[in-house]
Amino acid sequence: MSQPWNRGAKVPLPGKLDQSLGEFWLEDQWDIVPSGHNLSAYERKRAFLNVHGRDFLDISALTGADGDGDGRSIVAGDFRNNGQLDLLLRQSGGGPVVLYENHFPRRHYLKVSLRGRSSNRLGIGARLTAVVSGQPLVREMYPLNSFRSQMPNIVHFGLGEATKVEKLTIRWPSGREQQLTNLAGDRHIVVDEGEEGEAAVATVVPGQTFAP
């Protein structure tokens, strides 16, 4: 089966099939569903809701995420630029790409991108600790997610009912530790490794091109 990057791709059968094992081959992977095949054997996908860090609820049917397409990768990102993380699913069969929009009640957030100087340009490998209402939230700048997928180079902090981050500590790959205080939420900021205090923070204006 060919990979779904090119809908017009045709990959000829590379060898003899063993019918006793149920082997099959499709020159065009987009024909999986019409031909009655699915590499996931029509297993339903699952979505779980974390409950206060103590338990999980299966909300697959409620969210519509329980399709039987052959899911290959999933990425969480703020694709609508409203502070809520959506899910983008890539699959083989059952439709190539599906966007699951986040319609949970809106809460506050802070999105952080990094501009490295002594470290690499995107600050990949940095460790970010945000103190929100006295509680530390730890994230790392690793824009990777799952098989053949990559997240945006943005660290997302969900703030809940809080409207600001009391303190943000960034431990850069270079070894430098940078601290920022009283950062207002509900925005996307870029933090410059080479600056201090307020001069290190720039707000990304929605609709404008951001070049890290």
**Confidence at residue 70, expressed as pLDDT on a 0 to 100 scale:** 75
Q: What percentage of the chain reaches a pLDDT higher than 70?
A: 87
Report the number of distinct structural domains present in the chain.
Answer: 2
Q: Are residues 133 and 67 in the same domain?
A: no
| Integer Cα distance of 13 and 28 in angstroms | 11
**Confidence at residue 102, expressed as pLDDT on a 0 to 100 scale:** 93
pTM: 0.77
Q: Are residues 114 and 158 in the same domain?
A: yes
Render pLDDT for 24-33 as a digit per residue (tens, 0 to 9): 888 877 777 6
Task: State the pLDDT confidence band at 175, using cuts at 50, 70 and 90.
Answer: very high
| Integer Cα distance of 48 and 102 in angstroms | 14
Q: What is the CA radius of gyration of the chain?
A: 21
Asked if the model's pLDDT at residue 206 lies above 90, the reply is no
- HEC letters along the chain: CCCCCCCCCCCCCCCCCCHHHCCCCCCCHHHCCCCCCCCCCCCCCCCEEEECCCEEEECHHHHCCCCCCEEEEEEEECCCCCCCCEEEEEEECCCCEEEECCCCCCCEEEEEEEECCCCCCCCCCCEEEEEECCEEEEEECCCCCCCCCCCCCCEEEEEECCCEEEEEEEECCCCCEEEEEEEECCEEEEEECCCCHHHHEEECCCCCCCCC
Within a domain: 35:
yes
| Residue that is last in its domain, among 69, 100, 131 | 100
| Residue that is last in its domain, among 50, 68, 100 | 100
| Residue that is last in its domain, among 100, 130, 145 | 100
Render pLDDT for 130-165 as a digit per residue (tens, 0 to 9): 999 999 999 999 987 677 788 889 999 999 999 999
- For the chain, the residue count is 212
| Integer Cα distance of 158 and 132 in angstroms | 9
**Confidence at residue 41, expressed as pLDDT on a 0 to 100 scale:** 62
Q: Are residues 113 and 189 in the same domain?
A: yes
Q: Are residues 95 and 132 in the same domain?
A: no
Q: Are residues 73 and 49 in the same domain?
A: yes
Within a domain: 130:
yes
Q: Are residues 113 and 32 in the same domain?
A: no
